[in-house]
Each structure stands twice: as C-alpha cells, then as structure tokens.
Amino acid sequence: MANRYWVTGGTGNWNSTTNWSTASGGASGASVPGSSDAALFDASSGSGTATLDISPTIQTLTCTGFTGTLDFTTRVIFLNSTGTVFVGATTMTVAGTPLITLTNSSATARTITPTAVTETNSISFAVNAGTGNLTTTGGGAVRDLTFTGFTGSLTSTSFTIYGNLTLDAGMTVAAAATLTFAATSGTKTITTNSVTVDKNLTFNGVGGTWRITGSLTSGATRTTTLTNGTLNLNGFTFSTGIFSTSNANIRTLDFGTGGGIYLTASGNNTIYTAADSTNFSVAGDRNVFVTGVGTVGNTRTITGGQITLNGTAANALNFNISAGADTINFGTANRVFNNIQFSGSFSGNIGANVAPQIYGFFSNNGFATITGGTNAWTFKSTSSTNYISSSNAINNPVIFDGVGGAWQIYNNLIVNGAVTLTNGTIQIADGTTLIVESFATSGTNQKYLQSITPGTQSYISDASGVNSVSYLTIRDIIATGGATWNAFYDYGNINAGNNSGWYFGDSPTVGNEITMRLRSFTQPRRF
C-alpha cells in the first residue's frame, strides 16, 4: 500500500497528479491514490479546498492536522481496508454531501476516528460489508451512520450522531458507552431493525427532532436522557433501563398512538425523573410501563414533575407497574402523575409518606401494599372520566381537589386517613362503601357526593367522631359506621334525595347566653 499526501497549497481537484506527493509537504506529481493506496491530509497540506471530482476507492483516509476543506459535492469516498481506516481532524471542514463508505467484507476489525466536533464538519458513514467489529474511537461525531450487509458488532467509545442512524438486522451493538443524538434542525430517523442498542442514549440537540421507525431497545442497565429537542416514539415501544429528562431546556416527548416507554431497570434506582419539568412538553398516549423485576429490599423511584418546577397535568405521564416485589417510591414533594396503575405480577409496596398529585386514575387491586404516612395523596382531575379502584387500603390522608373533576370509587375503598373534598364530585359505586377515618369539605364552592347511578344508594362509613360538611350536595348516600354525619342547611349543604344517616337540619345555636327578666324578681337572671 502506497501513501499519497495532498500538497500544493491545498486547493485543487482530487483526480489530478498536481495535488499529490509521495511525502508530506513534498513535490507534486505523484499518482492519484487508488484502490491500493492511503490518502493523507496533514498540517503540510495547506488550508485550501480539495474537491472530489471523482468517487475514489482507496484503502484508508487520514486527515490529522489538516486545516482545509474536503468538498464532496455529490461524490463518495470508498474505503476498502481493515485496521484504522479513517482518522478525522477537528480543524478540517467539509462541504457538499460528505459520505464515506466502508466496503471491506472480511472478518477483520476496522476502526474510524470521527474527530469532528460540530454538525457542520461531521461526515456520514455507510458500512456496506464485513463480519468483523467496527469501532469508533476518540469521541467525535458523524452525520448519518448506516449499516447495510454488515453482520459484525459496533463496539465503540462514546460518540455523537448529527443525522440518521440505520442498523442492519444481522449486526450487534455492544459496549457501555454513550451515544448522543445532537441534530439541531429537521427530523432525523432511528431505524434499529430490532437490534438492541446496548448503550446509554442521550438526545441533546436544540431544535432537533428524532423519530424512531420501529421498536427501540437499549439495555436494562442503560440510561436514556432527553436534554434538548423532540423525541418522537412514533407509536412504537422504547425500552430502556432508566429515563431522565430533568432540566429547564425546551424539550418534547411525543409518544404517538400505541407503544410507550418500557423501564426495565431493577435494583435501587431512580428509574424515571422529570423533577424539573420547566419547558417539558408531552404529546400522544404518554404511557410508561415499569417492567423491571425489582427484588424485596430494593426501591425503585419514579420522580414525576415537581409542582414548583412546572410539573402540570399537561406534562404528567401514565405509569403501569407490572413486575417486581420491591418498593415503588413516588416522592414526597408533590410530584405530578396522570394515571398510576399496579398490575401483572407486582407484589411489593408503595413507599412511606409519598405525596403524589394524580390527575388521572389510580388502580391497585391486590398488587401493592400501601405503606402509608402523614402526607396526603391529592386527586387533581378536572374531568369526569377518572376513577379509584383499589382493594388495598390507602393508608394516607386523601384530598380531592379538581375544579370540574369527578372520581368514581369502585370496590369497598378503605382510606386510613382523613378524606377532604375541596373541589369536584365523588361518586361511589352502587352498593359499595367508602370507608374513611374522617370526612370533611373545604371552601365555599359547591361540591358533590353521590352514587354512580341516580336512585341507587351507596355508603360512606366512619367508625366514630363527628363529620360536618359544608357546601355539599348529597344524593343517594347512606352515612353509617357509628360516627355522626352533619350536613346543616345553613352551611350551604343540599339534600338531593334518597339519603339516610345524615342530619340536614339547621345548625344548633351554641354558646349564646339568653337574658330574661322575670316578674318575681327585680334583677335580671341568667340561664
């Protein structure tokens, strides 16, 4: 293999002997590098433009120290060697549509060092053959990375992709490095063809969009981070160990219709966090499935957006926890969630003193034991399509506070804590009982307590004490359990019919002194 060095000040056409030498900085006139040669651009090659007026096939391309420009126009460079086949330079620029194709079909490993540091000086690579490993080293960046007819393994250190990623179904991706997607404009695609991308994945391009074209899977010990831009799941499943998007950058998670994110990590991990939800937008189905098998003694934490850091109903996600025997912690700082559901084979606990703000439904029928605590669970729905279905007792105070919201309570729900209705409507399933430690209302807005079906009674029960409500319309509810249930008319309460166990009269006068003058006495007496 002969070496050919770019010379003569750095400007000219590739297919010209006047621009090539047999030595660095040497005399021109050497043959143009061919299929058995190495092309080298170095500090002696000048800072001009080398224009590809042909699509050459060479062994290797090295650009160390080059400060000029490679102008691809509509041309392609074909590399047909093994070993280190390409070394880039952070000081070089590219023009046109830069593409380098690797054509060697042997089982020998190849290495590229794409030391580009920006989107504008990155080069696309197409790997069209080979069974040996391909390694990227030295960090750096590529534009598009495409594998076709390649059955080896992509083993690499961390690097960046500014364009599209396409994998071949016969290849593998290995190594615990970080793959960063950093496009800043347009929509880039990620096509895995069912290949597991066993890497940490970071999406970090201001203004960029990445759309997956099929199911994407990374390893259970890997973390996916959305830092900037839009990640569009396009209705497919995205499986990763951990998902993180906690910052104040503009970013969007678009689920599309169907699919969702699958969190597969186990052990003591924060498996999802959007604690800082500033500038975080969500679109589509917003479903997250927790499928990692946590073991007894471990805790997996799901950190929804904190209300004080712009966690809202609009960016809250749905969580379905379906596997594990560990503790699921939802945080103690008023984190926001849409739906929370326990299902499948989960047999663990919900952590102590969690304080979720739930905008959707809660379902937990025989799966998670709720450890409980003094922090309140708050149901914040503003629609009429949500429910609470739990055969497991909620061992926390519960607050219903959603203007226009309605919650249908299924089963015989036990709340071992105070229940407060601040806004909205509680509907108890026909013939079933809401069992509370105490029941109260707050605020002067009208609220509603009723059965689901008009004319069919349901129950509310408290074992002892006095429960007094205000501004509450009550219909089809039997108050029972041993406690006293006061719904005085002068407190704004309304008897909408078919109720029992309530006292609806006017409130008694308490603490007033009555002064009367009796005829048999000259001085007033007090009673």
153 is a domain residue: no
**Are residues 194 and 270 both part of a single domain?**
yes
What contacts 449, CB < 8 A, 6 or more positions away?
421, 425, 426, 428, 460, 469, 472, 473, 474, 475, 477
Poorest-confidence range of 11-20, 168-177, 227-236, 488-497? 168-177
User: Final residue of a domain: which of 323, 339, 373?
Assistant: 373
Asked if the model's pLDDT at residue 136 lies above 60, the reply is: yes
Predicted confidence band of residue 117 (pLDDT cuts 50, 70, 90): confident
163 is a domain residue: no
135 is a domain residue: no
pLDDT score, position 511: 54
Residue-range definition of the domain harbouring residue 13: 1-127
Summarised one tens digit per residue, pLDDT across range 23-61 is: 999 999 999 999 999 999 999 999 999 999 999 999 999
pLDDT score, position 331: 87
**Are residues 208 and 277 both part of a single domain?**
yes
**Are residues 212 and 288 both part of a single domain?**
yes
156 is a domain residue: no
CB 171 within 8 A of CB 191: no
Could you tell me what percent of the chain has a pLDDT over 70?
Answer: 97
**Are residues 212 and 339 both part of a single domain?**
yes
pLDDT score, position 516: 37
Q: What's the mean pLDDT in 235-258?
A: 98
State the Cα torsion 334-422-358-331 to the nearest 10°. Answer: 20
**Are residues 217 and 336 both part of a single domain?**
yes
**Are residues 385 and 363 both part of a single domain?**
no
**Are residues 360 and 385 both part of a single domain?**
no
**Are residues 122 and 183 both part of a single domain?**
no
170 is a domain residue: no
**Are residues 183 and 279 both part of a single domain?**
yes
Asked if the model's pLDDT at residue 514 lies above 60, the reply is: no
**Are residues 244 and 344 both part of a single domain?**
yes
Q: Which of 111, 159, 108, 152 is nearest to 128 (CA)?
A: 152
Q: What's the mean pLDDT in 317-343?
A: 96
pTM score, two decimals? 0.93
CB 92 within 8 A of CB 63: yes
Q: Which helix (H) or strand (E) holds 408?
A: strand 398-410
**Are residues 85 and 199 both part of a single domain?**
no
142 is a domain residue: no
Number of domains in the chain: 3
pLDDT score, position 510: 58
306 is a domain residue: yes
Predicted confidence band of residue 389 (pLDDT cuts 50, 70, 90): very high
Asked if the model's pLDDT at residue 385 lies above 90, the reply is: no
> Mean pLDDT score of the chain, rounded to an integer?
94
User: Final residue of a domain: which of 127, 151, 185?
Assistant: 127
pLDDT score, position 520: 37
228 is a domain residue: yes
What contacts 71, CB < 8 A, 6 or more positions away?
49, 50, 51, 52, 94, 95, 96
